[in-house]
Amino acid sequence: MAQLSDIVNETVRAEIEEFLDRPEEIERNIELFSRASPAMQDIAAALIEGDNITVDRLTVQALADGVEAIEIMDDGLIAGMGIVGIKFREGFVFVPEVLVSARAMKAGMAHIEPILAASGVEPIGTVIMGTVQGDLHDIGKNLCIMMLRGGGFTAIDLGVNTSPDEFLEAVRENDAHLIGMSALLTTTMPNMARTVEHFKDAGLRDQVRFMVGGAPVTPEFGEEVGADGYGKDALACVELAKKLAAELRT
Ligand code: B12
């Protein structure tokens, strides 16, 4: 089993020691960071500190050193945001600090996106992606969009706070059949169901497939709201989109 001392970055070590309390979270993070390279630990540390300039510089450096974009995303950016999420939940940091870390995340993602998007394959299909009404969280959705584009899809980004009608209009305008809805708040999750209902009312439900995701969303919740599939992360989102696109073709 990995030990805290296996993590070389001092900031990351101190963050785990000082702010994490739940045994399973401590274990998961020690495991995650001890197998991440020192360069990825540095990116995570800079993100936790909200230092967008350093995240930007280290991401460029890592890519120049030949580190895979996906590794930077998972072991650097997402891993760092995981710690920020726990500190936010426990009341150690507040919205302004989280926003500063989110800005640092975006600084790193700006270099990763073009790489993930440049797979050069024929589009498999069009996916309409949005964060549901009332919800302003877009980091996870944006990662899904990057991965979808890299996986050969055309992804239309409706942004945050997307009403059921905006999803419907986008489907009509783009002649799309795949929809991805993201929600990070338990209070906005019901808007996934409302969106599905809106498509039923418009007589379009059978022509589209709905994917759902976001930290509080579960496969069971997905079924409950009448979605066609749930994805736990951006990679799962692409796999699911491929499966549903294949179903639509048959
Ligand atoms: C960053 C953040 C913010 C930022 C958002 C910045 C931005 N541009 O997105 C700011 C500061 C604005 C914010 C605001 C708020 N937040 Co906030 N936030 C977070 C935080 C720390 C991280 C979320 C995140 O980006 N995670 C990283 C990404 C990569 O993960 P992800 O979103 O889960 O996405 C992955 C998967 O879920 C999946 N996925 C995501 N979407 C989709 C879609 C599909 C189709 C598929 C297949 C997969 C998929 O793939 C992604 C990539 O792997 C979380 C804590 C947490 N642990 O989630 C709280 C959290 C979500 N926020 C919370 C709260 C309470 C709020 C506020 C109400 C706070 C307040 N009092 O104002 C407001 C609400 C604003 C609003 N109306 O939306 C709570 C929600 C509690 C609840 N149960 O509802 C959380 C859980 C923190 C907590 N524990 O208290 N927040």
Question: Is the per-residue pLDDT at 121 higher than 70?
Answer: no
What's the confidence (pLDDT) of residue 249?
Answer: 85
The mean pLDDT of the chain is: 94
Closest atom of ligand 1 relative to the 143 alpha carbon: 52
Could you read off the pLDDT of 15-64 as tens digits, one per residue? 999 999 999 999 999 999 999 999 999 999 999 999 999 999 999 999 99
121 Cα–ligand 1 center, Å: 31
CATH superfamily of 4-117: Methionine synthase domain (1.10.1240.10)
| Ligand 1 within 6 A of CB of 182 | yes
Q: Where are the CATH 3.40.50.280 domain residues in the chain?
A: 126-249
In the chain, CATH 1.10.1240.10 sits at 4-117
Ligand 1 contacts CB of residue 77 (under 6 A): no
CATH 3.50.50.60 fits 126-249, yes or no: no
Model confidence pLDDT, tens digit, residues 132-180: 999 999 999 998 988 788 777 899 999 999 999 999 999 999 999 999 9
The 3-state secondary structure of the chain reads CCCHHHCCCHHHHHHHHHHCCCHHHHHHHHHHHHHCCHHHHHHHHHHHCCCHHHHHHHHHHHHHCCCCHHHHHHHHHHHHHHHHHHHHHCCCCCHHHHHHHHHHHHHHHHHHHHHHHCCCCCCCCEEEEEEECCCCCCHHHHHHHHHHHHCCCEEEECCCCECHHHHHHHHHHHCCCEEEEECCCCCCCHHHHHHHHHHHHCCCHHHCEEEEECCCCCHHHHHHCCCCEECCCHHHHHHHHHHHHHHHHC
